[in-house]
Amino acid sequence: ELKLSQDVHEEQAVFKRISPLLILRRLPRAYYQILHKHIVSDTESSRTIMYELATELAHKIRAHALGNDEGSLAKEEKMLLAQAAGHCLPFSVVSELNNESPIALFDLFEKTFSATLEKMRLSESSPGLENIRESKLALFAVCQHIPEASDDDVSGNAFVKVASYVFEFLNESQTTCGEDCVQQELAKLHTGCLHFLGVVFDSLFARKAKKSVKQQIDADENGLLGGLMWTFQYTSSILFNGAIAELEERRFSASTRTSIFNAMVIYSQSCTAEDQRLALFASELLPALMKWVNEAAIDDDVRHPLCVAASLQLVYTIVAKLGSFDWVALGNESELQIVRLTFRCALKSLCSEGGAGIIRPLRLVSMKVILTVIAVNQNLAKYIEPGEINHAVTAVRDVANRDESQEVRQLAYEICHILSI
């Protein structure tokens, strides 16, 4: 039915085009996992089924990339194609017999994404629209696959390669030029890459939340968990060092790192209090983040004001959502130390000098962090020394008297009132 539907384009034949994809997506993942295992064991019938399915999905994705139909039916079909690919295909296959077609999701992704990156690296050429659109769908299929994937069914090495392609795109897209339509498609793919990181964070910490507290996840594991952990570590290195340790020559701009921080904010806002995902995320990220903010002055490179402002927005979002610092107990830090460090980071950023356009958002989020620390720790004197509180009152009053932003001044007056009681 999927093959027969390729020649149907009439609006009234929607059912023939959509129904096969709905059925493929509806079948249990366990059914496809049985077929995936038989591929590796060289069962002819299973290989044939998956070859044909993978080829047909790849052809249809390619056809949509070439056609660029933005109608509602085409958008729905593209979404279903990506969902079906993510649901039905194995992530990666280790077999000498899979050369006939891109049977695995990784093959489908790598082929199109590598072509996009290759054209982006050539300064004299612009990446083709077809490659970018196909890359978007392939990346969306990968994002669909991750949440339901079994820890043992995904090669950690293959997953890290996918993450490496994503990071390389984020790096290359800083300097890639092209026509307006190309820039629009690149911006959409950039958003897709940030969505991929959000899916990684959610899947990693959802899996950690289900594991025993004593059960550790090793980044050396050659499976999905290891790949997820490596991606999280790479992301942290980009944020705090401006580069991945193994690839120091590839520097990430402040705008790209700010967008990654903002992606983390969006992920944090999407979390619920039903499990420990957000608390685990906070325990692994925020201590390192606040040490990064605190250990050196704001500059135009690694600690760009926009990056620091975005990082403090992340701190504010997480602490306000969790309503306490209890998450600190999940890591190796003390609550006293982290509360004090959070207060100092916000106060330090509040006192930073620079252009109003850049410093104002930094001051605003610093005020929000200070107010949130006060709100979740009613007895602030238990955590902050009197001299430091007095210094904070003086600094906040100074901002209240001279800052041009009414919102910043209003928060400053509120903080002064609370600290002066």
pLDDT of residue 96: 53
Least confident of 182-196, 209-223, 279-293: 209-223
Taking residue 215's Cβ as centre, other Cβ atoms within 10 Å add up to 8
User: Which residues, including other chains, have CB under 8 Å from residue 315's CB and lie 6 or more apart?
Assistant: 286, 289, 290, 342, 345, 346, 369
pLDDT of residue 291: 95
Report the SS3 class of residue 297. coil
Question: Which DSSP state fits 244?
Answer: B
**Per-position DSSP letters for 120-142, written without gaps between them:** HH-TTS---HHHHHHHHHHHHHH
Taking residue 299's Cβ as centre, other Cβ atoms within 10 Å add up to 11
User: Which residues, including other chains, have CB under 8 Å from residue 97's CB and lie 6 or more apart?
Assistant: 42, 47
Mean pLDDT of the chain: 84
pLDDT of residue 76: 87
Least confident of 114-123, 217-226, 263-272: 217-226
Greater confidence, 71 or 351? 351
Residue 105 has pLDDT above 70, yes or no: yes
pLDDT of residue 217: 54
14-43 core/surface letters (b: 16 or more CB in 10 A; e: else): eeebeebbeebbeeeeeebeebbebbeeee
pLDDT of residue 43: 62
Residue 289 has pLDDT above 60, yes or no: yes
Percent of the chain scored above 70 by pLDDT?
A: 85
Least confident of 86-100, 101-115, 141-155, 169-183: 86-100
Greater confidence, 243 or 127? 243
* Angle formed by the axes of helices 72-88 and 14-26, nearest 10°: 30
pLDDT of residue 268: 95
pLDDT of residue 129: 84
Assign 337 a pLDDT band (cuts: 50, 70, 90). very high
Q: How far apart are CA 253 and CA 306, in angstroms?
A: 11
pLDDT of residue 209: 87
Taking residue 317's Cβ as centre, other Cβ atoms within 10 Å add up to 22
Residue (of 407, 376, 413) closest to 393 by Cα position: 413
Return the residue matching tokens 């001279």: 402
pLDDT of residue 188: 92
Q: How far apart are CA 198 and CA 268, in angstroms?
A: 9
* Residue range 174-186: mean pLDDT, rounded: 74
Structure token pair of residue 196 = 């991929």
Q: How far apart are CA 399 and CA 413, in angstroms?
A: 9
Residue 47 has pLDDT above 80, yes or no: no
* Residue range 155-164: mean pLDDT, rounded: 89
Assign 214 a pLDDT band (cuts: 50, 70, 90). very low
Assign 232 a pLDDT band (cuts: 50, 70, 90). very high
Residue 80 has pLDDT above 70, yes or no: yes
143-164 core/surface letters (b: 16 or more CB in 10 A; e: else): bbbbeebeeebbbbebbbbbbb
Highest mean pLDDT among 5-9, 16-20, 324-328: 324-328
* Residue range 298-302: mean pLDDT, rounded: 84
Least confident of 192-196, 355-359, 391-395: 355-359
* Residue range 32-42: mean pLDDT, rounded: 72
* Residue range 230-256: mean pLDDT, rounded: 87
Greater confidence, 72 or 264? 264
Assign 218 a pLDDT band (cuts: 50, 70, 90). low
Residue 27 has pLDDT above 60, yes or no: yes
Residue 371 has pLDDT above 90, yes or no: yes
Question: Which DSSP state fits 299?
Answer: -
Residue 13 has pLDDT above 50, yes or no: yes
177-201 core/surface letters (b: 16 or more CB in 10 A; e: else): ebeeebeebbeebbebbbbbbbbbb
Amino acid at 398: D
Q: How far apart are CA 117 and CA 99, in angstroms?
A: 23
Taking residue 206's Cβ as centre, other Cβ atoms within 10 Å add up to 15
Contact 307, 257 (CB under 8 A): yes
Phi, psi of 172 (to 5 degrees): -70, -30
Least confident of 151-160, 329-338, 402-411: 151-160
Assign 314 a pLDDT band (cuts: 50, 70, 90). very high
* Residue range 348-359: mean pLDDT, rounded: 73
* Residue range 272-281: mean pLDDT, rounded: 84
Assign 98 a pLDDT band (cuts: 50, 70, 90). very low
Greater confidence, 356 or 155? 155
Residue 206 has pLDDT above 60, yes or no: yes
Q: How far apart are CA 354 and CA 104, in angstroms?
A: 51
Contact 267, 201 (CB under 8 A): yes
The CA–CA distances, whole Å, from 296 to 65, 293, 309, 330, 339 equal 47, 7, 15, 27, 19
